[in-house]
Amino acid sequence: MEEETLVQTELNSQEQMEDRASEKYTATDIQVLEGLEAVRKRPGMYIGTTGPAGLHHLVWEIVDNSIDEALAGYCDKIVVKINKGDTITVIDNGRGVPVDIVKKSGLSGVETVFTILHAGGKFGETGGYKVSGGLHGVGASVVNALSEWLEVTVHKDGGLYYIKFGRGGKPLGRLERIGDCTDRGTTVTFKPDPTIFTEQTVFSYEIIRDHLKQMAYLNRGITIEVRDEREETPVVETFCYKGGIVEYVSALNKAKTPIMEEVIYCEGRGTFQLTPEKEGHIYCEVAMQYNESYNPFVASFCNNINTHEGGTHIEGFRMAVQRVINDYAFEKKYLKEGQEKLTTDDILEGLTAIVSIKHPNPQYEGQTKTKLGNTEVRKIVSQVVGEYLKRFLLENPKVADIILTKICRAAEARMAARMARENVRRKTGLEVTTLPGKLADCSSKDPEKCELYIVEGNSAGGSAKNGRDRETQAILPLRGKILNVEKATHEKAFENAEIGNMIVAIGGGVDPEFDVSKIRYHKIVIMTDADVDGSHIRILLLTFFYRYMRSLITEGYVYIAQPPLYKVEYHGKQYYAYNDEQLEVIKKQLNLKPGYPFQRYKGLGEMDAEQLWETTMDPKSRKMLRVSLSDAVEAEQVFSDLMGDEVFPRKDFIHKNAKFVKNLDI
Ligand code: TTJ
């Protein structure tokens, strides 16, 4: 009995060991398949949406790994290519994803990273540099799960390693050494799965470029090259900013006339208790500079993610400037004892600032989970900014005087501006409003059906008035250029007749009290000539909406009319082309001889009422662009670039700024 039992026990433990080993592999396999399958079942949980934003998210997710490697100090160049067929390749010159076996999974590092959820970065505990969080940082395995195929090549320790995954991240083989090499780095190419991204699998070069340019600003010294290989002659842009966020602030202020030469830069670290046993380190940097404008612009980031809703880092920043500026103002007698303190709003007027922190364990709150919640951050940012700003003011008394003078003027203007706003509210509020005389209103009073066309020039305004659908379309003609609100005080803006007309016609008041539920039209259509003046007016109008009725833009009520550029008459029929390609298509289809005449429209005024209706205003046949704003920082950069161009506008606003304007087939 004794012996039997013993033997039995030995057998058992042998079996158990085998079981455990196969269990481990089976467990890994099942875990892998179940994990990746879960991502495919509910992609929204991992990348937010399967629309264009989610599609581009895949790129950010892969690039984040290379940026982490760069932040760890092992990589200084990242290349992102959009290939023909809308696949993406990301190449870095880092240490390369590990190719040896990871104990926990029994798989190579590469297989682990690309098949097991949340397996990014931290190999062997020591490399705790990975700081990604939020929607970013869900891991390369999520990209693999949502791809039709994905290839990885690792150059590491003299070897070239390769693996390919099929639809949904299924390995098509094991990681293999396929050759030798002398360099190091990681290359990943993937094709998003069209059965997941049913809406769109075409990448926008502009979105990718803008985002990676921002990454280059936020992580100084990294070179990021962006290539669009879909074009006949590939588009290539390279971004590298030695000055990081200092250069970012300069660029954002480029068009706003800075009132000081230097950008104030604050940098520091703080520690906090990450777990009862472990300390965590927070890195914090802030860059700021005042400009002549009256608008504050403070953008914040945590681990390279734009925290749109702000949070504790922004609170720390505001606490610091409020404290330091007031202390200085009383000490240097800008304010007398007993006088009312300068408000944070006074202090932020005309200030462009970037607050960027790196945190090992960020917690996000708020409606869109873009508000930083970690309470320990407040004090650290406040200390870093407080210390640097105080020293800057003491060491640069002349600049300090310029800044304090501006802030004191803002405080004085605060009351006046409030009065001016009150006036507008009274004019546009519940009391009887007299609609502007120049407005040809529509007869319907249902905002959902109503459209307001803001039209450049009186003659085009005339055609639009005669050609429109009087039931639903209202026309407001503008005379000449409108005021650049970027460079005007609130009082001046409200005194401007054209701006006053728009405010009254739209009917929702102005920010901060702008009430989108009160607007009289659900489509505000900007209709300007297709020339330089026209695009200038369009940008001035968008700037006005952006500063005074922001939700009009963020909620998608603003549109840009698309008048045709060419007309071809053939056998008594008219053909309209909205761009050069269309003109060529028409010429081909009609079989026109070279030299056959066509009309090039220089302005809306050249069209009569009927033509304008047919080509640009008839809801059945018109094409309009809907203005959207998905990212305030990038929009700010767009404005700043456009407004700052000496030859204005250097780039075409609509085509080059996908962030801001998207196509709508209406
Ligand atoms: C991690 O720590 C050990 C040495 O290698 C580190 C690493 O993984 N580096 C790394 C990963 N560099 N680049 C990547 C990477 C690059 C791309 C394009 C995609 C992914 C998932 C990782």
> For 230-276, what is each residue's pLDDT tens digit?
989 999 999 999 999 999 999 999 888 899 999 999 999 999 999 99
| Sequence-distant (≥ 6) Cβ neighbours of residue 378 within 8 angstroms | 312, 313, 315, 316, 319
Looking at every residue in the chain, the average pLDDT score rounds to: 86
State pLDDT tens for residues 323-365.
Answer: 999 999 999 999 998 888 999 999 999 999 999 999 999 999 9
Give one DSSP letter per residue of 534-571, joined into a string. Answer: HHHHHHHHHHHHHHH-HHHHHTT-EEEE---SEEEEET
For residue 69, the one-letter residue type is E
Mean pLDDT of 420-431: 60
69 lines ligand 1 (CB under 6 A): yes
Phi (first) and psi of residue 476, to 5 degrees: -120, 105
Place of tokens 């790129």: 59
pLDDT at 555: 87
For residue 429, the one-letter residue type is G
Kindly give the distance from the C-alpha atom of residue 31 to the centroid of ligand 1, in angstroms, as a whole number.
22
Give the position, in ligand 1's atom list, of the atom nearest the Cα of 139: 21
pLDDT value at 189 more than 90 = yes
pLDDT value at 183 more than 70 = yes
Q: Which domains does the chain have, with CATH numbers?
A: 23-241 (3.30.565.10), 246-422 (3.30.230.10), 429-563+625-629 (3.40.50.670)
Kindly give the distance from the C-alpha atom of residue 98 to the centroid of ligand 1, in angstroms, as a whole number.
7
285 lines ligand 1 (CB under 6 A): no
506 lines ligand 1 (CB under 6 A): no
Contact 159, 181 (CB under 8 A): yes
Contact 81, 105 (CB under 8 A): no
Kindly give the distance from the C-alpha atom of residue 305 to the centroid of ligand 1, in angstroms, as a whole number.
19
What does DSSP say about strands 351-358 and 305-306: parallel, antiparallel, or unpaired? unpaired
pLDDT at 137: 55
| Sequence-distant (≥ 6) Cβ neighbours of residue 119 within 8 angstroms | 105, 112, 113, 139, 141
Kindly give the distance from the C-alpha atom of residue 90 to the centroid of ligand 1, in angstroms, as a whole number.
11
52 lines ligand 1 (CB under 6 A): no
Give the position, in ligand 1's atom list, of the atom nearest the Cα of 140: 21
Nearest-angstrom CA–CA distance, 45 and 98: 28
pLDDT at 627: 85
Kindly give the distance from the C-alpha atom of residue 97 to the centroid of ligand 1, in angstroms, as a whole number.
4
State pLDDT tens for residues 455-489.
Answer: 988 788 999 999 999 999 999 999 867 888 877 87
pLDDT at 421: 66
Catalytic residues: 456, 529, 531, 533
State pLDDT tens for residues 63-120.
Answer: 999 999 999 999 999 999 999 999 999 999 999 999 999 998 899 999 999 999 876 5
pLDDT value at 650 more than 80 = no
Confidence band, pLDDT 50/70/90 cuts, at residue 662: very low
Rounded percentage of the chain residues whose pLDDT exceeds 70 = 84
Name the residue among 490, 579, 488, 491 with its Cα closest to residue 540: 488
pLDDT value at 446 more than 70 = yes
385 lines ligand 1 (CB under 6 A): no
Read off the pTM.
0.74
Mean pLDDT of 506-524: 92
Name the residue among 438, 611, 435, 602 with its Cα closest to residue 507: 435
68 lines ligand 1 (CB under 6 A): no
Confidence band, pLDDT 50/70/90 cuts, at residue 12: very low
Within a 10 A sphere around the Cβ of 210, how many other Cβ atoms?
A: 23
pLDDT at 25: 52
| Angle at the Cα of 394 from the Cα atoms of 392 and 398, rounded to 5 degrees | 85
The alpha carbon of 421 is separated from its chain's Cα centroid by a whole number of angstroms, namely 30
Classify 457 as helix, strand or coil: coil
Give the position, in ligand 1's atom list, of the atom nearest the Cα of 114: 21
127 lines ligand 1 (CB under 6 A): yes
Q: Which of 80-84, 181-185, 212-216, 420-424 shows the lowest mean pLDDT across its residues?
A: 420-424
State pLDDT tens for residues 139-179.
Answer: 899 999 999 999 999 999 999 999 999 999 999 999 999 99
Ligand 1 pocket test target in 65, 67, 74, 136 with most atoms within 8 Å of CB: 65
Kindly give the distance from the C-alpha atom of residue 242 to the centroid of ligand 1, in angstroms, as a whole number.
23
H-only helix segments in 72-204: 109-115, 140-145
Give the position, in ligand 1's atom list, of the atom nearest the Cα of 188: 18
Q: Which of 296-305, 587-596, 650-659 shows the lowest mean pLDDT across its residues?
A: 650-659
128 lines ligand 1 (CB under 6 A): no
Strand-by-strand arrangement of the 558-561 sheet: 473-478, 451-456, 523-527, 558-561, 624-627, 661-664
Kindly give the distance from the C-alpha atom of residue 286 to the centroid of ligand 1, in angstroms, as a whole number.
28
- Counting beta carbons within 10 angstroms of the beta carbon of residue 233, is it exposed (0 to 12), middle (13 to 18) or buried (19 or more)? exposed
Ligand 1 pocket test target in 97, 114, 116, 225 with most atoms within 8 Å of CB: 97
Give the position, in ligand 1's atom list, of the atom nearest the Cα of 187: 18
Mean pLDDT of 490-516: 88
Kindly give the distance from the C-alpha atom of residue 183 to the centroid of ligand 1, in angstroms, as a whole number.
14
Name the residue among 71, 62, 58, 80 with its Cα closest to residue 192: 58
Q: How far is CA 619 from CA 384, 449, 507, 555, in A?
A: 55, 11, 23, 20
512 prior amide bond cis, ω within 30: yes
Classify 328 as helix, strand or coil: helix
186 lines ligand 1 (CB under 6 A): yes
pLDDT value at 536 more than 90 = no
pLDDT value at 429 more than 60 = no
State pLDDT tens for residues 609-649.
Answer: 998 999 999 999 898 888 877 667 777 776 666 665 443 44
61 lines ligand 1 (CB under 6 A): no
Count of all residues that appear for the chain in the document = 666
Ligand 1 pocket test target in 78, 87, 89, 92 with most atoms within 8 Å of CB: 92
pLDDT at 33: 72
DSSP structural state of residue 133: -
